[in-house]
Amino acid sequence: ICTYIRSPVVPQHLAGAQILSYYAYPALMPGHALGFAFSTYNKTIFMALDTDSNAIPDPELLISCMLEAKNELLVKSDIQMGK
């Protein structure tokens, strides 16, 4: 499953403190092996990943490939990426 959550494009505050990041969580549903959730907040993109270890035995490899692809995209754009 892959989902996108749009959030405010300007800084928000909670109890007087600025919210620095905004991550959505891709909870896996029965029968799903992989979940991606993308969110944007304050002109930054955040990404979260959840995997079923029985279906994805090497999630570190998947993450490595995704980071490589992200870096390629960022070189070609002016978008910032959250940590």
- In tens, the pLDDT along 41-56 reads 888 888 899 999 899 9
Q: Are 23 and 39 in contact (CB under 8 A)?
A: yes
> 71: which DSSP letter?
H
pLDDT confidence band for 23 (50 / 70 / 90): confident
Whether the pLDDT of residue 67 is over 90: the answer is no
Query: Who contacts 34 (Cβ-Cβ below 8 Å, separation ≥6)?
Result: 1, 28, 49, 50, 51, 52, 55, 56, 62
Q: What is the C-alpha separation between 81 and 74, in angstroms, rounded?
A: 8
